[in-house]
Amino acid sequence: MRAAIAAHEAGVDVALVTKLHPVRSHSGAAQGGINAALGNETEDNTDNHTFDTVKGADYIGDQDAIEILCERAPLEVYQLEHWGAVFSRQEDSGKIAQRPFGGAGFPRTCYAADLTGLVILHTLYTVCVKYNIPTYEEWFVTDLVTDDNGNAVGVVAYDMIHGKIETIGAKAVVMATGGAGRVYRPSTNAHASTGDAMSLALRKGVPLKDMEFMQFHPTTLAANGVLVTEGARGEGGYLLNKDGDRFMSKYAPNKLELASRDVVSRAEATEIQEGRGIDGCVLLDLRHLGRDRIMERLPQIRELAIAFAGTDPIEEPIPIRPGAHYHMGGVHVDNWGAAPHMPGLFAAGECSCVSVHGANRLGGNSLLEAVVFGARAGEASAAYAQDAPAPKVPGNAAQETQDRIEGLLAREDGPRQGEIRDELATVMQEKVGVFREDATLREAKAKVDELKQQFQGVVVDDKGKTFNTDLIHTIETGYLLDLADCMVTGAIARHESRGAHSRTDFPERDDENWMKHTLAYLDDGEIRLDYSPVTMTKYEPQVRSY
């Protein structure tokens, strides 16, 4: 939506296409906040923010892109505020309040209680309403359309309510479909987070970057993987093992619970593996914050903990464990969100990889990336569209999709998408999780290949046209399989430990051989890897400790 607003403001005709209603998007589940060096709480500046992000990324983020991110951050936060975002305020000054977050040297995270994503998502939607930007709600994109020159000229989409398949031509396409967390289970991600844009681009020859880097969030509820914000630790929450020890003192003696997410998740996994967990969990203790602070700053967390864990954090600690949360990889794009391999194609947010998060994203940087690079992709795509000729959409684009879907619906016997998805998520969690090693990664690869094979015979129960969720889930499962393949293949090849990619057989970071981005291509159904250099400006790689 940020891209649509920017493009609209640049004076081009723009429409939103979304498989959900815009306010249902998963950005709304982001809780803790958005980073910007406003300096409202303590002195802070863009350089600090940039350095923290470069270090958090374990030195594989592109430093020029990170500078852009951090420099534009205050402007975007002010812009959201001007559009009406209800940020929490400081007591006396009336300025936007900021809280400490993991991996950050200063309290830099602006927030709206623990509903920051919801407030920002809603704010952007209200601007879309104000600008009257046409929205195709519940239109599921099945294909990216290219012309004879290989330029992006639109999409094919299934209108879920009316059951029609249509081609939507456009001079430029900006993809912003979010992450692929549903490759894993448990995952903090919505059921809809199936990485659609990545797979659509991959199938048209566009490479995906750094797919092996999946972030595991340290605090997710055991019952269903629902997120407990990093803000809970930002507000002062403790992590305890079964002996009641604040174990982070062993792993990150300075930053403790507010070390980077990869560090905290590994610490928790180690505690649990070594027998100091409770039923596969450790405890997040908020009791010392007191009722008032919990009710004011973390109301949603309390509600979710009561609903899903049967635990009131005012009274007792919450059992939590690491869960798949954010995918650093995505469609390979430049600093303007443009895909170098396909003119006319842009991507922003979690489905893209600029890269600003490198091997590990800092909390509070994902909403920021979505608005900063969303705005830039909107601006760049508008400029591109103003110079581009009318799109030459191949006449048979929708027909090809229609034929493919009819073929799928005609099949009567075979496995169901749900079984394939479950098996995929289980194997990814077990073998491509917080800690990885060659043998198990190869087992995972074999399983993914097998599931891809099974998927060729998948059967859809629902043969109808109207709101066919069975069909949608089946197509999404195909996307997940593509992406899992890229993740596993990239993970097998990367012989080092960096950020969220932690290899027990290669425990050290290897800057000499692996200071580079992975690019995954799809060639005849097989993933082929290539590499590209990391852009450095003024931040030399250092040993990363917290």
Partner 1 sequence: MASTTFRVFRYQPDSGDLESYHQDFNLEHEEKTTVLDALLRIQNEQDGTLAVRYSCRSAICGSCACKVNGKTVLACMTQVEEAKAESGSSTLQVDPIGNFAPIKDLVVDMTPFWDKFKAVKPFLIPDGPAPEKERLVPKAAMEKVAKESACILCAACYSECNSLAADPEFVGPAAFAWGYRFAADERDSQRKNRAKLYSGQHGIWDCTRCMFCNERCPKGVDPRDAIEKLGAIAFQEKVTKDKGARHAKAFLISMRTGGKLNEQLVGGYTDPVGGAFNAPLALRMLQKGKLPASPLTHKVKNRDQVTKLIKNVKETI
Question: Is 261 annotated as catalytic?
Answer: yes
Provide φ and ψ at 266, rounded to 5°: -65, -40
* Distances, alpha carbon 311 to alpha carbons 186, 218, 223, 289, in Å: 19, 18, 11, 16
**Choosing from 108, 182, 261, 498, which is the catalytic residue?**
261
State which residue, 190 or 427, has the beta carbon closest to partner 1. 190
Taking CB under 8 A as the criterion, the residue among 10, 15, 223, 383 binding partner 1 is 223
Q: Are 477 and 454 in contact (CB under 8 A)?
A: no
Q: State the helix-helix crossing angle for 63-82 and 366-387, rounded to 10 degrees.
A: 90
Among the residue ranges 22-30, 45-53, 145-153, 250-258, the one whose residues contact partner 1 (CB under 8 A)? 22-30
23 binds partner 1 (CB under 8 A): yes
Question: Which token pair is 457?
Answer: 């015979």
Question: Which token pair is 102?
Answer: 């993991």
115 binds partner 1 (CB under 8 A): yes
CA atoms within 13 A on the CB side of 190: 15
Per the rule left: phi > 0, alpha: psi between -120 and 50, beta: everything else, 17 is: beta
Taking CB under 8 A as the criterion, the residue among 7, 29, 104, 338 binding partner 1 is 29
Which has the closest alpha carbon to 162: 136, 181, 183? 136
Taking CB under 8 A as the criterion, the residue among 244, 340, 414, 464 binding partner 1 is 464
Q: What is the DSSP letter of 391?
A: P
Among the residue ranges 199-207, 320-328, 456-464, 517-525, the one whose residues contact partner 1 (CB under 8 A)? 456-464
> Cα(480)–Cα(478) distance, rounded to whole angstroms?
5
Taking CB under 8 A as the criterion, the residue among 120, 180, 202, 226 binding partner 1 is 226
Taking CB under 8 A as the criterion, the residue among 11, 244, 290, 303 binding partner 1 is 303
β-strand 152-159 against 135-137: which pairing, if any? unpaired
Question: Which token pair is 268?
Answer: 């928790």
Question: Which token pair is 302?
Answer: 């309390």
Q: Are 16 and 23 in contact (CB under 8 A)?
A: no
Binding mask 61-100 for partner 1 (x = CB under 8 A): -------------x--xx--xxxx-xxxxxx-xxxxx---
For residue 410, the minimal CB distance to partner 1 (Å) is 15
Among the residue ranges 186-194, 249-257, 287-295, 395-403, the one whose residues contact partner 1 (CB under 8 A)? 186-194
State which residue, 21 or 246, has the beta carbon closest to partner 1. 21
418 binds partner 1 (CB under 8 A): yes
β-strand 330-332 against 352-353: which pairing, if any? parallel
For residue 82, the minimal CB distance to partner 1 (Å) is 4
Sheet of 282-285, strand order: 214-221, 318-327, 282-285, 238-240
For residue 49, the minimal CB distance to partner 1 (Å) is 17
Taking CB under 8 A as the criterion, the residue among 180, 227, 356, 488 binding partner 1 is 227
Which has the closest alpha carbon to 455: 442, 432, 474? 474
For residues 123-162, which are near partner 1 according to CB under 8 A?
126-127, 129-130, 161
480 binds partner 1 (CB under 8 A): no
State which residue, 181 or 391, has the beta carbon closest to partner 1. 181
Q: Is residue 198 within a helix (H) or strand (E), and if so which, with residue range?
A: helix 196-202
Site size for partner 1 (CB under 8 A) = 64
383 binds partner 1 (CB under 8 A): no
> Cα(119)–Cα(104) distance, rounded to whole angstroms?
23
For residue 526, the minimal CB distance to partner 1 (Å) is 30
Q: Is residue 293 within a helix (H) or strand (E), and if so which, with residue range?
A: helix 290-297
* Distances, alpha carbon 223 to alpha carbons 280, 281, 439, in Å: 11, 11, 29
State which residue, 81 or 400, has the beta carbon closest to partner 1. 81
The residues of the shown chain that bind partner 1, judged by CB under 8 A, are: 20-21, 23-26, 28-29, 38, 74, 77-78, 81-84, 86-91, 93-97, 112-113, 115, 118-119, 122, 126-127, 129-130, 161, 163, 190-192, 223-224, 226-227, 300, 303-304, 307-308, 416, 418-419, 460-462, 464-470
> Catalytic residue numbers?
261
